[in-house]
Chains A and B, each alone.
Chain A
Amino acid sequence: MNVLLICTEKLPVPNIRGGAIQTYIGGVTRQISQYHRITIVGRDDPELPADEVVHGVRYVRIPSGGVFETYADGVVQFLSASGEHYDVIHIFNRPRMVLPVRSVAPSSRIVLSMHNDMFNPAKIRPEEAQAVIAHTERIVTISNYIGSEIARYFPDVEPKLRTIYSGVDLDRFAPWLESQSAMSIRQSLRAQHQLDSKKVILFVGRLSRNKGPHVLVRAMSHVKHSNAVLVVVGGAWYSDNRVSDYIGYVRAIAERSPLPVITTGYIDAQEVHRWFSAADVFVCTSIWNEPLARVHYEAMAAGLPFMTTARGGNPEIIMNNNGLLVEDPDNPLDYAEKLNHLLSNMDECRQMGLRGRRLAEQRFHWDRVAQDILSVWG
């Protein structure tokens, strides 16, 4: 089949500037391109050509300025001018792209991939959303939570919903207990930051209020393990390192934490796996209703036990005693209690982590994601 993937107007494909959706697309491209002819439409970027073919996949890059309307216009123009018929048009996370695309591709099958809450009435008028659902063959979501949110606004969508969990690169993220390369990365990074004898608690994500790392920093005041260290990996935005007032706040309290808090700033997607190898426990602190952060898959693949919040789709990832759930993510004591427990039992900790690795090997690799997508396309 001739298949068109339409990514968002925010970040380019491949994920040279990060982005969960862009990474998702990158993870499945190789596989799906073996079965179908693939064209990927994304936003422009100064470092990427406007039109190129790489490994048989055509990349078309449309100027957007990060503005959806401009991008949508460009996509419609591309479609009308292209003269190609696409059997399936798979749109990522933009319900408002569906009707414009439908107007110039009346007979293509449209699949919509939802990565967060874009069906919220504040983001799309209910009338348009109803029409979007009518014109879409299948709505794929990255967690049951996202699907249930859409169904909450639009019960008719139920039969079209399907959850396809994301994946992770199992080679890049590997447990140091089982992988020689992960082990040597761990040793060198820990030596470099004087972490050799420490129990390293890892946070990876944007430094924003919604992501909640400040609560974890405050929790360190109540952690009873004197050899514990918190490592905070992340800049304010994916490819940006400016200091916002939130970051000022986190650093101000980190400065006075009784236990060390290391802030690394932004670490590139190509390098971040090294911190997963160096750590002992991973903590996701999201306060908002996160769809399902991919860092969970990365932590599991790296054999790390994790703690996550009872928000959004995050709890869905706790499947075989591979992690702990923080019920009250605004409360530092909730984190401290669980951390104290985990760090007192390093063996149990490691077993939990390896259970996560086994789960990742079975279910959370890109091949499985690709197969799921292929089966949706038929």
Chain B
Amino acid sequence: MDQYQVVPWDHLVDTVSPGVVLEQYVPPELEELAYQVMKQYDMQVSSMVLVTSKPDKGGAIWKIETNKGTRSIKVLHRIPQRSLFSVGAQQYLVEQGARVPALIPTIEGQLYVEAGGKLWIVTDWIALQQASKIDLEGASALCKGLGEFHFHTKGYVPPHGSARSSRLYGWIKNYEKIIAKIGWFKHIAEAYRDTAGSDLLLQVVDDFDRQAREALDRFLTSSYAKMTAMGESYWGLAHQDYGWSNGQMGPGGIWVIDLDGVAYDLPFRDLRKLITSTMDDMGVWDLTWIRGMIEAYNQGNPMDREMFEILWIDMAFPNEFYKHVKEIVFDPVTFMNMELTPILQRVLTTESTKAQALQELWKDIDKYPAGDYIVQPVEMEWDLPLPPIGVVPSASSDATAFAFDGTASATLDGVETPTWNEQDSTSTLNLQSKEIANRAGSAHDDGKEAASEPSLAVAVEDPAVNPLPIEPPLFSALPAAEATSPPVRRRRVPKYAAKSRRSRKGKSSSLKRKSSRSYSNSRQKTKRPVRTKRRQTTAKRSLQQRRSAAKRTIRRTRRQIRTRKTA
């Protein structure tokens, strides 16, 4: 079927009628596709209004009135594998009892639809109101809502096949990158001395460079490494785009919407961004506000000393300077002549109150308890038969290349074919569960370097515990026509045996495939790192049980996502 593929439509800016605001417009093909998607849901839609769209990305959200209530339908502009990560997160959050709009399942029980090469979701429409921007009460409510959101993301495991999104291990590289870019600003200012803003920039850039390097030096002495050793699920997700539009007042408190950009991270990065951008808007670093916002966040997601320290260092880093000047690279002449001077003046005014506020704020660290970052040793079990270890086959071999016409070639006398169906429990290897295997995350490869700073703080089981006798290299003499060696027998582990070993938050998203993978099925036998501070309240637990009971009646199957390289 030749389905319309959803692509950005900002190129249409000259072809639509004059006066059309592109954010209030979607191509008719997209709207038609939305109708097709809505048919897959058990609802009758009486009206449909475009709320907003992202013409440069190819995303849109509509508000729809249905016989089941007001809902939204949204097309996620990222590639399906990436969207799956955030859709799975949204589902997980709902199950954890967070104030996040619930995903409505299709008639077939799917939590999303794939159409036009993108994922679509339908959610409840919650009546929301922005928290006040002009007083600390509003900012505090926003921060508390953020804390609650983060708290509920802990333990999230993404669905199989999703692109893992993580910034957790990249903090050092991120700081280094910004420091390098501050260097770029200097080079550009030096090369464009004839522009209006270049002199001022050259006067102050060294200072910001120094601030950045000092913050990084301090960061390198923090507990970052042992904190990140706890793993991605332990920390949960940062929203990445949290603010007054994505956190709004609704029934019971702050509701969080637009989860598209969620990623594993030290979650309080969201808090830092909210605080520093608020200070930036206000033009002054107001200690009362900062304290109020942190304290409110703390109520939603309790912090410890180590988290506070990193939050403080992240605030000390000249993020705001960088954010305001980084545009310089695209059109230096225009930017430096027209915009840079007032921008810099404003930044400098705000900065003049920053140092003192931070100095005072540092004293607050004693309010926070020390965290407990001990990683429990990982128990590993393997069920793959080990090959002979330590044998390096010689270049010349006895094996005769066998013909591919199905006939057996000369047999190799005296060579035993390996019998792989004998499970010697003392000499078998299991693959660790997917979570551990995926711990390396979405590390890119072809040319891109990996985050290399964290080292795994797990006890390594001595692989030489059960050494095998060294045998001569074995060659399989099976002709092609014969059946291949029997499949490796897999140990089936009852689903709930491992679950009971988990502390507090261990549920994976129900979008995750339940059937065992062909090569790895043992549930995670890791003892989860234990954080002994907050326990679930009875009220929340029974809410969870009620939600689980309701969800259990909805059958969910996960469809294999067909992947295509998009243009």
Residue B389 CB within 8 A of the other chain: yes
Q: Once the chains bind, are A73 and B517 in contact (CB under 8 Å)?
A: yes
Q: Which residues of A contact B447 (CB under 8 A)?
A: 20, 116, 206, 210
Q: With the chains together, A46 CA to B437 CA distance in Å?
A: 30
In the complex, are the beta carbons of B449 and A288 less than 8 A apart?
A: yes
Least CB separation from B193: chain A residue: A256
Given the complex, which residues of B lie within 8 Å of A333, measured CB to CB?
Answer: none
The answer to whether A69 and B438 have CB atoms under 8 Å apart is yes
0/1 string, A55-75, CB within 8 A of B gives 1: 000000001111101100100
* Interface presence of A272 (CB below 8 A): no
A252 lies within 8 A of B329 (CB): yes
A26 within 8 A of B: no
1/0 per residue, CB under 8 A from A, across B535-567: the answer is 000000000000000000000000001111100
Q: Which residues of B are in contact with A by a Cβ distance under 8 Å? A: 79-81, 160-163, 169, 177, 180-181, 184, 187-188, 191-192, 326, 328-330, 332, 378, 380, 382, 384-387, 389-390, 392-397, 399, 401, 404, 417-418, 420, 429, 431-432, 434, 436-440, 442-443, 445-456, 458, 460-461, 463, 474-476, 478, 480, 483-485, 487-488, 517-520, 561-565
Q: How far, in Å, is B357 (CB) from chain A's closest CB?
A: 30
- Residues on B with beta carbons closer than 8 Å to the beta carbon of A125: 432, 436-437, 439-440, 456, 458
Additional 13 contacts, C-beta under 8 A, given A122-B443, A255-B332 = A37-B404, A63-B563, A65-B81, A67-B163, A84-B484, A127-B463, A130-B463, A131-B384, A131-B463, A135-B384, A135-B386, A137-B393, A160-B392
Q: Do B432 and A85 touch (CB < 8 A)?
A: no
**A10 vs B364: C-alpha distance when bound (angstroms):** 48
Q: Which among B330, B332, B449, B518 is the interface contact of A245 at CB below 8 angstroms?
A: B330
Q: Are A85 and B476 in contact (CB under 8 A)?
A: yes
User: How many angstroms between the C-alpha atoms of A64 and B380 in the bound complex?
Assistant: 29
| B79 engages A65 (CB within 8 Å) | yes
What are the 6 A-B residue pairs with the smallest beta carbon separation, nearest first? A65-B563, A248-B329, A103-B519, A256-B191, A107-B476, A249-B329
Interface size range on A against B: 35 or more
CB distance from B383 to the nearest CB of A (A): 9
Minimal beta-carbon separation of A76 from chain B (angstroms): 5
Give the most central of B329, B395, B474: most A CB within 10 Å: B329
From B187, B392, B449, B519, give the contact of A76 (CB < 8 A). Answer: B519
In the complex formed, the residue of A with least CB distance to B562 is A63
Contact B387 A127 (CB under 8 A): no
Which residues of chain A are within 8 angstroms of B386 by Cβ–Cβ distance?
134-135
Which one of B389, B420, B480 lies within 8 Å of A84 (CB-CB)?
B480
Q: A125-B432, A127-B460, A378-B396 are in contact. Are A249 and B380 (CB under 8 A)?
A: no
Let me know if A122 and B565 touch, CB within 8 A.
no
Q: Which residues of B contact A298 (CB under 8 A)?
A: none
B450 engages A122 (CB within 8 Å): yes
Can you name 21 A-B residue pairings with CB atoms under 8 Å? A2-B480, A66-B81, A67-B563, A73-B517, A77-B518, A85-B480, A100-B519, A106-B418, A107-B476, A124-B440, A131-B429, A135-B387, A160-B392, A206-B447, A210-B447, A245-B329, A249-B184, A249-B188, A252-B329, A378-B393, A378-B395
Given A122-B440, A124-B440: A117 in contact with B392 (beta carbons within 8 A): no
Which residues of chain B come closer than 8 Å to A137, judged between CB atoms? Answer: 392-393
B192 in complex: contacting residue of A104, A248, A256, CB < 8 Å: A256
Knowing A122-B452, A135-B387, the reply to whether A85 touches B484 (Cβ < 8 A) is: yes
Give the residue of A45, A87, A127 whose beta carbon is less than 8 angstroms from that of B432. Answer: A127
Partner of B188, one of A46, A77, A108, A253: A253
A96 within 8 A of B: yes
Docked complex Cα distance between A67 and B431 (Å): 20
A2-29 interface bits toward B, Cβ cutoff 8 Å, 1 = contact, 0 = none: 1000001011000000011100000000
Of A127, A128, A248, which is in contact with the most chain B CB atoms at under 10 Å from its CB? A127
Contact with B along A135-164 (1 / 0, CB 8 A): 101100000000000000000000110000
Closest residue of chain B to A19, judged by CB? B446
Q: Give CA–CA (A19, B475) in the complex, Å.
A: 34
Is A32's CB within 8 Å of the partner chain B? Answer: no
